Amino acid sequence: MERARLVVKNFGPLKDINIEVREMVTFIGAQASGKSTLAKLISILEDEDFRRDDTISFEEELKKYNIFNYLKKDTFISYDNINYLEKSPYSLDYKEGIFLKGTAYRYLSVIKELSKDKSLNQKKLTENLKEILCSELKDCLLKDLKKTLDIFPSKTQKNKFKKFISTEILITTFKKIGIDKIFEILDKEQNTENYIKLYEDLISLLPNLYLFDSLYIPSERSFLHLIEGNVIGLIKNKIQIPDHILNIGQEYEKAIQTIKELPLSIIDKKIKYKREGKTSYIYHNENEKVNLLESASGLQSIIPILLLVEYSKTLKEKYNFNFVVEEPELNLYPKAQHELIKYLVKNCLFDRKNLILTTHSPFVLASINNLLLAYDKGQKNPKEVNKIINKESWLNPKNFIAYELKNGKAKKIMNDRLGQISENMIDSVSDTFADEFDKLLDL
């Protein structure tokens, strides 16, 4: 399901991009086609620290991800939460060298200023705020009814509203009448000041509905093993390493201190990761172990992904994570690629978690197609499908979209009618090889 829309024009390799952003997005394309650039932009635009803090500039974030020099005079970037289009404050725009942040926090500060301007139509301003509150409250009630009820100070008020929404109105069809009932129970006048106070209470009570934290796992992740334990020193000494790598390096250090042992069944059921003292080891059996730095390149590539995801799960009560993984297939055998994709879908798409992948691998696309098909077939034959692919890794086609990047544009390769990635896209690589092979045979 489309949750946002991203438009990018004239930014580095991206010439004319207009894409949906769903809970899971996959970008495929040749080197330098703009996959990582798009992924980095989404990481920035989905990060709540950036969205709510006016002291963090867009330019600073671009520098952190090494894409600042992509900015041009005619660069245009727009990111809008599609669920609140027209009415919601959730919009981020860069045009003519100016970046405008429009989030719940920013909207409140703007509304507060506008409410002081008596020359403006205050009635229209209040109606607009009421519309937004209605939409926000519906979302809050659906996500966490118990916590949302804390907007009422007394138990009696809570019970009155619970009775109201259970008998008079469904949460899923929450309309302006629901706002009216809230203020009737609170015994407060419906005016801009009280609407603002209600909005502030919602954000305070349910930060998990508003706060996202982007977790960007770069293709250079094997490097994290080398700098582990020295990240702070590298930052203090201003060593020329991209900030986004140093930032994920800090998260990786937290992960290795938290996750001490991890099975590596994605690679082989017999092996496991284990942290002992200040060293990470790969155990091939109970007695044989090898230092992670001396292990196979595939293990060095996959360990940071697994540790960071597992670590983030320990923080799930505090954050909504926007996971961005560059080239998950790096140094992995096709079967391991498939197992990793199943793991990522299972662990990165729940409780308001999102997953962005960049890839060169048709095997990754084929793996995703299997998970999409499992969801489809699982609607009629759940037990049988679950024996083939665990239900936790089924992928709802409504929550997924894929694009091929080429010549600065993004072509949608997801067939929503079939609920599958286009077979032509997956087969194109093998077709090229087969055509070359046939020509050689004809000589």
Q: Which helix (H) or strand (E) holds 124?
A: helix 122-143
Domain boundaries, the chain: 4-82+211-441, 137-209
* CA gap 346, 386 in Å, rounded: 13
How many CB atoms neighbour CB 171 within 10 A? 16
8 A C-beta contact, residue 25 and residue 357: yes
State pLDDT tens for residues 292-306. 999 999 999 999 999
Query: What are residue 296's DSSP bridge partners?
Result: none
Q: Specify the 3-state DSSP secondary structure of 105.
A: helix
pLDDT of res. 177: 75
Paired tokens of 348: 């990165």
DSSP string, 128-186: HHHHHHHHHHHHHHHH-HHHHGGGSSSHHHHHHHHHHHHHT--GGG--HHHHHHHHHHH
pLDDT of res. 205: 72
State pLDDT tens for residues 332-355. 999 999 999 999 999 998 766 889
pLDDT of res. 90: 57
The mean of the pLDDT values for the chain is 84
- What is the layout of strands, in order, in the sheet containing 24-29? 98-102, 91-95, 76-81, 4-11, 14-21, 409-412, 400-406, 24-29, 354-359, 320-326, 212-217
3-state secondary structure 346-387: HHHCCCCCEEEEEECCHHHHHHHHHHHHHHHHHCCCHHHHHH
The candidate with the shortest Cα–Cα distance to 310, out of 297, 299, 323, is 323
Distances (CA, A) of 253 to 227, 258, 325: 9, 9, 18
pLDDT of res. 314: 86
Q: Specify the 3-state DSSP secondary structure of 416.
A: coil
Q: Radius of gyration over alpha carbons of the chain, in Å?
A: 24
Which residues lie closer than 8 Å to 12 by C-beta, 6 or more apart? 34, 37, 67, 69, 70
Distances (CA, A) of 126 to 115, 119, 342: 9, 14, 47
Which overall architecture, per CATH, does domain 4-82+211-441 show? 3-Layer(aba) Sandwich (3.40)
Distances (CA, A) of 134 to 163, 181, 198, 392: 18, 12, 11, 33
8 A C-beta contact, residue 251 and residue 311: yes
End-to-end CA distance of the chain: 51
Distances (CA, A) of 38 to 30, 73, 244: 14, 19, 15
How many CB atoms neighbour CB 97 within 10 A? 10
* CA gap 269, 272 in Å, rounded: 8
State pLDDT tens for residues 110-166. 677 777 877 777 777 778 777 777 777 776 776 677 878 888 899 999 888 888 877
Using CB atoms within 10 Å of the CB of residue 83, give its burial: 0 to 12 exposed, 13 to 18 middle, 19+ buried. Answer: middle
Q: Which helix (H) or strand (E) holds 404?
A: strand 400-406
Residue 284 is given by DSSP the state: S
The DSSP bridge pattern shows strands 76-81 and 279-283 to be unpaired
Which residues lie closer than 8 Å to 364 by C-beta, 6 or more apart? 26, 28, 328, 329, 337, 341, 357
How many CB atoms neighbour CB 421 within 10 A? 26
8 A C-beta contact, residue 395 and residue 350: no
* CA gap 434, 443 in Å, rounded: 15
pLDDT of res. 307: 96
- Phi and psi dihedrals of 411, rounded to 5? -105, 125
Q: Specify the 3-state DSSP secondary structure of 221.
A: helix
State pLDDT tens for residues 268-285. 989 999 999 999 999 999
Query: What are residue 400's DSSP bridge partners?
Result: 24
Stretches where the chain sits below pLDDT 70 are 1-2, 52, 81-90, 102-107, 109-110, 139, 142-143, 167-174, 176, 206-212, 232, 235-236, 316-319, 351-352, 424-434, 436-437, 440-441, 443
